[in-house]
Amino acid sequence: MNQLLPVFIKLENKKVLVVGGGNVALEKLQHLKDTGCALTVISKEFKSETIRLLSSVKDAKIETREVQVSDLDGFDLVYSATNDRQTNRELVEYAKQKKIWINCADDPSLCDFYSSAYFDRGPIRVAVSTQGGFAGLAGTIRTILEEILPKDHDQELENLLEIRNLSKRKLGDPEERKTALKFLLSEFKQKYLSTDTK
C-alpha cells in the first residue's frame, strides 16, 4: 500500500461542495466553516444543527434538493456525505472522471483524501489520521496529545514563533540560530512540559 502524504490545504476561496445535511455532513462542515472556502451544501433535507452552523458561514449556499452528478462541475473539493450508498458511488465515479478530489464518507477506499482529528495550540495545529479506518481511535489519540501539550500557553507558543522569525533576520549564522532556538525550546519544555514535581 502506498503511503499517504500528510498536508494542510489552503481552502480560502476554493469551491467546496458538501452533499448531505445529516450528522456526517455536519461533522465535515465543522471542519470547513473557518477555512474561508466558497461553500455549497446540497441535500434533500437538513438537520436543524446543520442549518444553524451554515447560518454562521459567510456566503454559504444551501440548496434543498436532490443532487445530480453534474452539480460537481467546477468544484475543487467534494465531500459526499449522504446516507445513500448508491448516490455516493455515482458521485465518486463522476468526480474521478472529472479529476475532482472527493471524500466519500461511507467508504474510505474510494476517498482521494481523508479528514483528521485535530486540535490547535496557538500557531500549532496537530492532526491525527487513521486513513479513514477508525475515526474513534484518531479522536482518542488527539485527546491524549491535547493533555500532553499545554492548554493555557498559546501566547508563549506565538512568542516562540515570533522569536524564530526574528532570529532569522537578526542572526546570520544558521548554526548560531539553531543553538539559540534549541535553548529556547529546552527552556519551554522545562517550564511547561516537565513532569518533575520537585
Tens digits of residue pLDDT in 110-165: 999 988 877 788 787 788 877 666 677 877 887 887 777 767 777 777 877 787 77
Cell of 44: 434533500
Q: Quote the CA–CA distance of 198 and 179 in Å, as a whole number.
A: 28
> Angle of helix 174-188 relative to helix 154-170, nearest 10 degrees?
170
> Cα-Cα-Cα-Cα dihedral of 86, 87, 90, 94, to 10°?
-160
| CA-closest candidate to residue 72, choices 86, 92, 54 | 92
Q: How confident is the model at residue 173 (pLDDT cuts 50, 70, 90)?
A: confident
* Mean pLDDT in residue range 17-26: 96
* Mean pLDDT in residue range 9-18: 96
Q: What are the tens digits of pLDDT across the range 39-67?
A: 999 999 999 999 999 999 989 999 999 99
Cell of 54: 451554515
Q: Quote the CA–CA distance of 84 and 39 in Å, as a whole number.
A: 22
Q: What are the tens digits of pLDDT across the range 69-123?
A: 999 999 999 999 999 999 999 999 999 999 999 999 889 889 999 888 777 887 8
- Say if pTM beats, i.e. exceeds, 0.85: no
Which residues touch 114 (CB under 8 Å, ≥6 apart)?
4, 103, 108, 129, 131, 132
